[in-house]
Amino acid sequence: MLRIVLAGAELDGFAIDAPASSVRMLIPPVGADEIVMPEWTGNQFELPNGDRAPIRTFTPRYFDEQRLELTLDIVLHDHGAASDWARNAEVHDEVAISGPGRSETLDPEATSHLLAGDESAIPAIGQLLEAIPTDHTMEVHVEISGPDARIELPEHGGADVNWLVADPDSSPGDAMVAAVVALDDLPDAVWVAGEAAAVQRLRKHLFDERGRSRSSVTARGYWKHGRSAT
């Protein structure tokens, strides 16, 4: 994971009002140094040459209103538009940001919480740890690719954080799913996010096998294994 800090007067007025919000980032096309603004075709944002615009969605980690700095934590893959751009980003490189959009509304009646996700969910988990009252209990399971992917999360007096190192021969999300399925009891509120197929497996488990109500579960598919990231 690589931390990128975006800054500029254009961020004046930006605000993160709820945890696990999202922003969309437009990066320069491959081989270009400058942003090319796309047009909405009714189906996708498209560049003038007909290519799909390189837009990616991220959960912002921090926003400093005084310094006008937006911090993003980006999971690096072997190849992909966002990963390739982040590895080579330099000071004064330009991107475009829209948002924030989609955020989580915390159940005011819940006093115990389960958070489960993979590396792509770490920024959102960090925000939720900061937003959930410290007198609530929290069980947190984070699936990571290796021990070196573990990062510092915000302190929370009621949180038990478990880092799950994925088996390289397993499908993405297997460790996260297994940890949730193994729980004898589930907290009042459940939040899960990460690879889409793994999240779908957890939806099925929570709704069909555990009988949880839809209102007590938030499940977000952040990415799809095998889908091209170009």
Contacts of 133 (CB under 8 A, 6+ apart): none
Distance separating alpha carbons of residues 30 and 170, to the nearest angstrom: 32
Map residue 61 onto helix, strand or coil.
strand
What are the residue boundaries of the structural domains of the chain, listed by start? 2-101, 112-223
166-214: pLDDT as tens digits = 999 999 999 999 999 999 999 999 999 999 999 999 999 999 999 999 9
* pLDDT higher than threshold 60 for residue 40: yes
CB-count burial class (<10 Å; 0-12, 13-18, 19+) for 70:
buried
- The per-residue pLDDT for 19 is 84
Q: Can you give the pTM of this predicted structure?
A: 0.84
CATH architecture designation of domain 2-101: Beta Barrel (2.40)
Q: Contact at 8 Å (CB) between 24 and 55?
A: yes
Mean pLDDT in residue range 72-94: 85
Query: pLDDT tens digits, residue range 133-161?
Result: 999 999 999 999 999 889 889 999 999 99
Instruction: Give the tens place of pLDDT for each residue, 6-16.
Output: 999 999 999 88
Structure tokens at 32: 């270009």
Average pLDDT, the chain: 91
Fold classification of 112-223 (topology level): Rossmann fold (3.40.50)
Residue 39's beta-bridge partner residues? 46
- Between 34 and 219, name the one with better pLDDT: 219
**Contacts for 156 with CB less than 8 Å, ≥ 6 apart:** 129, 130, 132, 134, 138
Q: What is the pLDDT of residue 125?
A: 95
Using the CB atoms, write b or e for 27-52: b if 16+ within 10 Å. Answer: bbbeeeeebeebeeeeeeeeeeeeee
* pLDDT band (50, 70, 90) for residue 216: very high
Give the pLDDT band (50/70/90) at residue 227: low
Helix axes 196-204, 174-181, angle to 10 degrees: 20
Provide the pLDDT for residue 134.
92
Is residue 47 within 8 A of residue 115, CB to CB? The reply is no
